Amino acid sequence: MTALIFDCDGVLADTERYGHLPAFNATFEQFGLPVRWSEQEYGRKLRIGGGKERMASLFDDPAFAAAAGPGDRTEKLVAWHKAKTAAFQQLVADGKIPVRPGIKRIIVGALEAGWTVAVASTSAEESVRAVLANAVGSAAAEIPVFAGDVVPAKKPDPAIYQLTVRNLGLNPAETLVVEDSRNGLLAATRAGLACVVTVNDYTRDEEFGEAVLVVSGLGDPGRPPVEVLANRGAARPGLHLTLDDLRACLGGPA
C-alpha cells in the first residue's frame, strides 16, 4: 500500500517563523532569560534537531549559564520547554500560523485514495497534533502521529522514520517522505525511504542532493505555480503537485 509520511514544522505549516520562534522568545521573556533569537539566529538554531536541544545549546555560553541561575539544568529545560509548547499551541489556536499550500488537498486526497498517511516529527507531540488539526481539519483523526521523545535521537538520525515504518507495517519501497530540511532528508534516506523536499525560506539554500524532487511547495489550483528546484525522478509536475506526481517519486532518484 502506498504511504505518505509528512514532517510537521515547515512542511504542514510555516511554523518556524510564525510559531516556534515567537514562542521561544516569549518563553525567554517569561522566565527572565537574557536572550532573544532573531530570525537569522534562529535559522542557525534550526540545524539542531528538537526544541529542548535548541534551548540546551544556550548553556554553551557561560554568561547565559550564569544568568540562568542555580538549580538542575534538566529541570529548567523541561519547565522552559513546557511553557514554550503552551505558547506555541496558543499561536496555533489563534490562527497565527499559516498552513502551507497543497497540504490539505494532498492529505485528504491521499486518504480518499486509500493511501496510508502519517506524520513523523521531532517536535513535541501536542504541538504536532495541534498543527495537523489546524491544517487538515477532521481528517487529522485518521492520521497517526509519531513525535517528540518517542525515539532516543532526533533527525538527522533515522529513528523516527524507522519507528513509523515498523509500527505501521509499511513497505519502504512504497513509502514517500515529505520534508523541508537537510536534517529531515537525511533522516528519511538513512531509513531507506524516498524523499520529496518542499523548501521554505529557512531551508531553501540547503543541500538536497539525495532528494527525488525539490520544489517550492505542493501548490494549489489558483495559486502561483510551484517552482521545481531539482527533479531526479519520473514526476513531471505542472502548476501544482498531484498524487500521481508523488507516486512517481517512489523508488528514489533515477
For residue 194, what are the contacts with CB-CB under 8 A and spacing of at least 6? 175, 176, 177, 188, 212, 233, 249, 250, 251, 252
* Domain 3-14+98-247, architecture per CATH: 3-Layer(aba) Sandwich (3.40)
Is the CATH number of domain 16-93 1.10.1200.10? no
Q: What is the mean pLDDT of residues 97-123?
A: 97
Ramachandran quadrant class, 172 (left: phi over 0; alpha: psi -120 to 50; beta: rest): alpha
Res 201 pLDDT > 80: yes
For residue 9, the cross-strand partners are 13
Q: What is the mean pLDDT of residues 96-125?
A: 96
Q: What are 50-95's pLDDT values in tens digits?
A: 889 999 999 999 999 998 888 899 999 999 999 999 999 999 999 9
For the chain, what is the radius of gyration of the CA atoms? Answer: 18
Q: What are 3-28's pLDDT values in tens digits?
A: 999 999 999 999 999 999 999 999 99
- For the annotated catalytic residues, the residue numbers are 7, 9
3-class secondary structure per residue, 4-61: EEECCECCCECHHHHHHHHHHHHHHHHCCCCCCCCHHHHHHHCCCCCHHHHHHHHHHC
**pLDDT-derived band of residue 169, with 50, 70 and 90 as boundaries?**
very high
DSSP annotation string for 199-221: --TTTTTS--TT-SEEES----T
- Distance separating the N- and C-terminal Cα atoms of the chain: 21
Residue 192 is inside which H or E element, if any?
none
CA separation for the pair 103, 57 (Å, rounded): 32
Question: Model-level pTM?
Answer: 0.91
CA separation for the pair 252, 212 (Å, rounded): 5
The structural domains of the chain, with segments of one domain joined by +, span 3-14+98-247, 16-93
